[in-house]
Amino acid sequence: MSLSRNSLLIHGGIDGDEKTGAVNVPVYQTSTYKQDGLGKDRGWEYSRTGNPTRAALEKLIADLEEGQYGLAFASGLAAIDTVLSLFKSGDKLIVSDNIYGGTFRILDNVFKNFNITYKIVNTSDLKAVEEAIDDDVKAVYIETPANPLLTITDIEAVSKIAKKHNKLVIVDNTFLTPYLQRPLSLGADIVVHSGTKYLGGHSDTISGFAVVKDKALADRLYYLQNAIGGVLAPWDSFLIIRGIKTLGVRMDRHVANADKIARWLVESGFVSKVYYPGLESDPGYEIQKKQADGAGAMISFVLNDKYDYKVFFEKLRLVTLAESLGGVESLVCHPATMTHAAIPADVRKSVGIVDELIRLSVGIEDADDIIDDLRQAIEASAK
């Protein structure tokens, strides 16, 4: 029976426990497994290599992403590390010009040391992507909406260009989740995630994923997952499975709240700039609408010069100043000194991540309470 999206969130992957009838996949808190004789294991050998709780989650994320093979990792960056380990010295990646700070850091300070290098490109500009491709480029790595400016890249169009030149396309789908966007079905080769964010959804578990369709690519990634070892623990796998069950209802509320708050910000007179791809005025609006089922719940904005953003952060009462995003509670952050501090100031400035930029992860509280808090904090920050 083929299930639609909301049912798949609850019944996708490996549903329940065949042995006992438990409606939830048990937490197989074990490092190793009894073998019945030499070479006679029961399909499980060692929990770095494979664990039934993790395997249930891996199957679930593969189903949700319309992929064939899922891999769960101890963090989003562990997933990204493993995916980047597909490449070898001399290889080059094209990366979107605003990406998660940690992704930039691992490229710039880890993989570059192994001569796996990157070119920063505005991937919304298809011509720029095509022009940046040369023999050394092996993959295009995109985030859409990108972090923190919510820039939209046309996944299908970039995938067509990449395919023509025989390059891989990797998409970080953290901001929208497979509930809203499925890059593999738009032509991407690898999807990566920080499951820490919306998939877990409760700001209580660090996790990451990679999902692919292609068997050869999956085999290579499973090999690397086991060889590098950054796997997700059984208990954390259970927590993410639990989080995913409510992903649909959470995302619906997240997106409705974000839409309301973005429109309020535009009308408020408090801001000089609002970045939200759900606004008709946003340059990415049409592509976003075409390739995803919603614009997500991340909003970035700049207060106009009557207000002091540093004071604003201190005056918030409901919305919490913290790293991270995608939890049920609204969080706000200052990209220049927090999530994107790893990006050198000149690079930040050149892509538009100004010091005054505020990033809001809209939670599932009542939108009016979030608006009231933003309003009082902005008013209290008047210079």
Ligand X SMILES: *Cc1c(COP(=O)(O)O)cnc(C)c1O
Stretch that binds ligand X, among 75-83, 163-171, 344-352, 366-374 (CB under 6 A): 75-83
Distance CA 163, CA 187 (A): 9
At a CB cut-off of 8 Å and minimum separation 6, what does 37 contact?
Answer: none
Distance CA 264, CA 125 (A): 29
Minimum CB separation from ligand X for residue 87, in Å?
18
- HSE (side-chain half, CA atoms, 13 Å) at 77: 12
Stretch that binds ligand X, among 7-15, 70-78, 125-133, 229-237 (CB under 6 A): 70-78
Query: To which H or E segment does residue 117 belong?
Result: strand 117-121
Distance CA 135, CA 92 (A): 9
The catalytic position among 28, 69, 100, 198 is: 100
Q: Does 197 bind ligand X (CB under 6 A)?
A: yes
Distance CA 57, CA 118 (A): 31
Minimum CB separation from ligand X for residue 187, in Å?
20
Q: Which of residues 171-190 bind ligand X (CB under 6 A)?
A: 172, 174
Q: Clarify whether 33 is annotated catalytic.
A: no
Distance CA 276, CA 299 (A): 5
Minimum CB separation from ligand X for residue 77, in Å?
4
Q: Does 143 bind ligand X (CB under 6 A)?
A: yes
Stretch that binds ligand X, among 74-82, 176-184, 244-252, 266-274 (CB under 6 A): 74-82
**Comparison of 14 and 230: residue with beta carbon closer to ligand X:** 230
Selected from 13, 70, 178, 208, the binder of ligand X by CB under 6 A is 208
Q: Clarify whether 197 is annotated catalytic.
A: yes
Coil/strand/helix, residue 381: coil
Minimum CB separation from ligand X for residue 207, in Å?
6
Q: Does 196 bind ligand X (CB under 6 A)?
A: yes
Angle at 142 between CA 185 and CA 77, to 5 degrees: 100
Tell which residue, 144, 84, 159, has the closest CA to residue 115: 84
At a CB cut-off of 8 Å and minimum separation 6, what does 136 contact?
Answer: 90, 91, 92
Q: Does 76 bind ligand X (CB under 6 A)?
A: yes
> Taking phi first (over 0 means left), then psi (-120 to 50 degrees means alpha), and beta for anything else, what does residue 115 get?
left
Q: Clarify whether 100 is annotated catalytic.
A: yes
Contact at 8 Å (CB) between 242 and 273? no
Residue 353 DSSP label: -
Question: In the stretch 262-301, what mask flags binding to ligand X with x, by CB under 6 A?
Answer: ----------------------------------------
Q: Clarify whether 273 is annotated catalytic.
A: no
The catalytic position among 172, 189, 236, 282 is: 172
Distance CA 277, CA 145 (A): 8
Q: Does 102 bind ligand X (CB under 6 A)?
A: yes
Q: Does 100 bind ligand X (CB under 6 A)?
A: yes
Q: Which of residues 147-166 bind ligand X (CB under 6 A)?
A: 147
Catalytic residue numbers read: 48, 100, 172, 197
- Give me the residues that bind ligand X (CB under 6 A), please: 75-77, 100, 102-103, 143, 147, 172, 174, 194, 196-197, 206, 208
